[in-house]
Amino acid sequence: MSDQYETIGGVAQSKLVVKKSRFIGFATATKNCESVEEFLGFVQTRCPGATHYCYAYKIKLVSQLFEYADDAGEPRNSAGAPILTVLKNSEFLNVTCVVARYYGGIKLGVGGLIRAYSECTRNCLNVANRNTEILCGELQVQVEYDQVGSVFKLLDRFNAELVDVRYNKFVNIKFKMRQQKIQHFQKQLDIINLVAEKKCRRE
């Protein structure tokens, strides 16, 4: 299973006018719900006074995929759902798209809204810069002091990123590592522990 994915670099933007209604789409990479809220606030600042701020996101946390759509006052499933459908059909992961609409005085009907929000989202993704991201896991191991050198060498061999080290009765090491490497790393760590255990028995 691949531990890398395609997402959006920076902020992509598109504009669409349908029967005097203006649709302005924004899409960016988001890794959690907090970053979605921040991005929504960013769009509201960029498009003050818009009639609606409809959005959807597709975010994967560990092994679970989270998808959400918000019509933001438009008729049910006429805005958020079409945005999400376009995101689901794209290759992008961990992305949010917000479409701000300025009502032009002419009703578009549910069908017209679906087409407009879908097209604006597709246009956004079509002009977006692509970034390849690597999925990493954060782990913590607890080792004896005489194992620290061996564990650090192992972390270096697996290109792990050290996050925190705490020295108490034992040494607690927190680090990030590419998900694809974690299982093999744990096997190598078990070997270190086994060697240390045999050494203790001999002593």
Give residue-wise pLDDT tens across range 102-158: 999 999 999 999 999 999 999 999 999 998 887 777 888 888 888 888 888 888 988
Let me know whether 111 and 143 are in one domain.
no
Burial track 64-103 (b if 16+ CB lie within 10 A, e otherwise): eeeeebbbbebeeebbbbbbbbbbeebebbbbbbbbbbee
The label of the residue with tokens 């958020």 reads: 80
pLDDT band, very low/low/confident/very high, at 179 (cuts 50, 70, 90): confident
Which run of H or E residues covers position 18?
strand 11-18
Closest CA to 7 of 92, 87, 98, 91: 92
User: Domain limits at 109?
Assistant: 4-133
Which run of H or E residues covers position 37?
helix 33-46
Q: What is the pTM (predicted TM-score) of this model?
A: 0.73
Residues 151, 152, 155: CA angle, nearest 5 degrees: 85
Residue 92, pLDDT above cutoff 90: yes
Please identify, among 82, 105, 133, the residue that sits at the C-terminal boundary of a domain.
133
Which run of H or E residues covers position 185?
helix 179-202
Let me know whether 91 and 128 are in one domain.
yes
Q: What is the structure's pLDDT at 181?
A: 82
Please identify, among 133, 165, 180, the residue that sits at the C-terminal boundary of a domain.
133
55 contacts 131 by C-beta, under 8 angstroms = no
